[in-house]
Each structure stands twice: as C-alpha cells, then as structure tokens.
C-alpha cells in the first residue's frame, strides 16, 4: 500500500509540475529565447546559427526510451520534407553530448541533438518535468520562423504522430 501511495504522489507531482511549467512556455507570436548548447559532437550550437531557416525545436525526456526513440525516428523519416521546407530539426534533452552521440548512432539519426545538462534552456522554454528525484525536459515543441518568432507551440505531444502534425502546421504557416 505504501508503494502505491508513493507512486501516486510522485505521479501527481510530475503531472502538477508539467501543468505548472506549461504555463511558463513562451507563447506563439513572441520572440524565441536565444540559446547555445553542445550538440552530439560537442560543438556549440546557437539559435543564431539558423537565421533564415524555420526551426523545429523539440524537447524530449530521455535518450534510449521508447517514446523518445519513436519521436526521433519519425522526425528522421521526415527530415527530407523539413529540409525541402527550409526547416531544421533540433532535439533537446538533459542528456549529455556523449549520450546523444550514442543515441544518434544506435537510432540512425542525422539531425542535431542538443545537450541541456544544466536544464537552463529547458527552463527558459518552460519545458521541464520534475519527476521527484530528477528533472528532465518535457515533451514540448516550438515551431520558430526565420525571423526568430515562435509561430506554434505544442505541449505534451504524442510522439507517434507529432512529426506529421508539425509538417502540416509548417505548410499552413508557410502558405500565409
């Protein structure tokens, strides 16, 4: 019974944290917060590196987990479609560059994964999830236009259909 109560309390805290932090997410129509993080190769990557491109900035909890792997696979499968739409995919989690490098190798990912080991960028984007003993990136995405304006936000996304959803929204936004 104690285990069930503890599990229920942790689940409640995680859900409460997710909902509380989602309110702090930057809103569509506002300037995207600038950032600089190391990618899977240890190279510093900055928001400013992608001027004149659309950015799909997606936050995810953990390398090598089933939902995160599914989401990454779907983005990878659609990468050519994003490139054709002048968009780059940037995945962000609290894992290390080394973990990202192994994850990319294992899963065949060619887009960039960024290491937010101090959780500052995840916090800046209102995308942290407190799991009680640890804080990870929450599964949120920001679609940012070439001028650096957030055009669409997605919170607590479904990894199975998310890439299709973002591509559809990107097509609508680019048609305006």
Site of tokens 């479609």: 81
DSSP string of 81-100, one letter each residue: HHHHTTEEEEEEESS-HHHH
CA 108 to chain centre: 18
Active site residue 68: yes
Catalytic one of 68, 114, 157, 170: 68
Per-residue pLDDT of the chain (176 residues; tens, 9 = 90+): 444 443 333 343 444 444 444 448 999 999 999 999 999 999 999 999 998 999 999 999 999 999 999 999 999 999 999 999 999 999 999 999 999 999 999 999 999 999 999 999 999 999 999 988 999 999 999 999 999 999 999 998 999 999 999 999 999 999 98
Cα 39 to Cα 86, 113, 144, 164: the distances in Å are 20, 5, 19, 24
Structure confidence at residue 46 (pLDDT): 95
Structure confidence at residue 22 (pLDDT): 44
- Domains identified in the chain and CATH numbers: 2-175 (3.40.30.10)
């Amino acid at each position: 019974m104690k285990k069930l109560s503890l599990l229920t309390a942790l689940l409640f805290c995680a859900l409460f944290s997710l909902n509380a932090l989602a309110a702090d997410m930057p809103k569509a129509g506002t300037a995207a917060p600038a950032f600089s993080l190391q990618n899977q190769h240890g190279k510093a990557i900055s928001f400013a590196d992608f001027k004149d491109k659309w950015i799909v900035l997606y936050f995810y909890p953990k390398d090598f987990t089933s939902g995160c792997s599914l989401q990454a696979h779907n983005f990878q499968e659609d990468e050519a479609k994003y490139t054709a739409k002048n968009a780059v995919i940037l995945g962000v989690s609290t894992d290390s560059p080394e973990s990202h490098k192994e994850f990319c190798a294992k899963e065949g990912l060619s887009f960039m994964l960024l290491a937010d080991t101090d959780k500052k960028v995840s916090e800046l984007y209102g995308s942290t999830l407190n799991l009680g003993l640890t804080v990870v990136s929450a599964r949120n995405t920001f679609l940012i236009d070439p001028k650096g304006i957030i055009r669409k936000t997605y919170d607590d996304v479904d990894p199975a259909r998310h890439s299709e959803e973002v591509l559809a929204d990107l097509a609508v936004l680019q048609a305006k």
